[in-house]
Amino acid sequence: MTAKVLDGKATAAEIKAELKERVTALREQGVVPGLGTILVGDDPGSQWYVAGKHRDCAEVGIASIRRDLPADISQAELEAVIEDLNDDPDCTGFIVQLPLPPHIDTDAILELVDPAKDADGLHPTNLGRLVLNVNRPITTPLPCTPRGVIELMLRHGIELNGKHVVVVGRGVTVGRAIGSLLTRREYNATVTLTHTGTVDLDGILRSADVIVAAAGVAGLVTADNVKPGAIVLDVGVSRVEDPVTGKSKVAGDVADDVAEVAAWVSPNPGGVGPMTRALLLQNVVESAERALA
């Protein structure tokens, strides 16, 4: 068996094409969606991520609002920037690029974001509403990466109803949020969340219809602990040394040999990553649509 590819690049391109039409419709009604980004310091990785998000905005017609700030900014000064974007009618959604410098209280900063403008979908208010809402339509921003994981499967014709999904990793970005989404009645999956304290991880993985690997441990999921025909999504990111060049390179959580037993595998990079960025844009567009309604 050779696994079929869950192509995040192609699927994200489809979503962005759809969003471009929705942005055009909003512009015709006098509304221009705007994505704000707050970048503190000059970390190259963070700069690269933020630049990519603004390139995505340009593709679909979303306005870009950048706030690039010095690394030594004070807590009060950063909070003032948050309040500025909360009050800015041209900003329909924004993100605070993480990590922030150690002298900044990150939790306090994130909680200051207006939940209606929470482009990442990770504000405590929005996560709480997600947990409470099992049946009704969602009318608040949703966490981008879990939403991207689900959308990637749905758009490849994968049915989630009744599936046993095993999530590896309990981080807030994926692990702690995706179960609340997948167990909503519209998807109706059963979710097991695993982490470093889990006993017999291999056995639990072998019971999974779907594996979402988001631990940030290179090669954690191998062919030996994947059930034949399972669906495997590689979400984790870590850096390993290339034995040939000696240079570090990005690695996912899923080993190459998984493709020999799985039915579907998402590549890393090129799988869930592009989907996360596309769903970030979708959160911004949906916030603009809700504000207009």
Find out whether 126 and 151 touch, Cβ atoms under 8 Å. no
113 is in an annotated binding site: no
Q: Give me the catalytic one of 7, 16, 56, 97.
A: 97
DSSP structure string for 64-75: EEEEEE-TT--H
171 is in an annotated binding site: yes
Find out whether 126 and 141 touch, Cβ atoms under 8 Å. yes
Active site residue 53: yes
Active site residue 7: no
61 is in an annotated binding site: no
Q: Give me the catalytic one of 7, 56, 118, 120.
A: 120
Beta strands across the sheet bearing 190-194: 4-5, 264-266, 231-234, 210-213, 164-168, 190-194
Q: At what angle do helices 8-28 and 144-154 cross, to 10 degrees?
A: 110
DSSP structure string for 211-266: EEE-S--TT-B-GGGS-TT-EEEE---EEEE-TTT--EEEE-SB-GGGGGT-SEEE
Q: Give me the catalytic one of 16, 53, 117, 163.
A: 53
- For residue 237, give the nearest of 252, 259, 257 by alpha carbon: 252
Dig out the tokens for 51 from the structure. 């630049």
Burial readout 170-194 (b: 16 or more C-beta within 10 A, e: otherwise):
beebbbbbbbbbbebeebebebebb
3-state SS, residue 133: coil
CA distance 5 to 32: 35
219 is in an annotated binding site: no
Active site residue 247: no
Q: What angle do CA 97, 99, 100 make, to 5 degrees?
A: 85
Per the annotation, binding residues for NADP(+) are: 169-171, 237
- Active-site residue list: 53, 97, 120
- Residues of the binding site: 169-171, 237
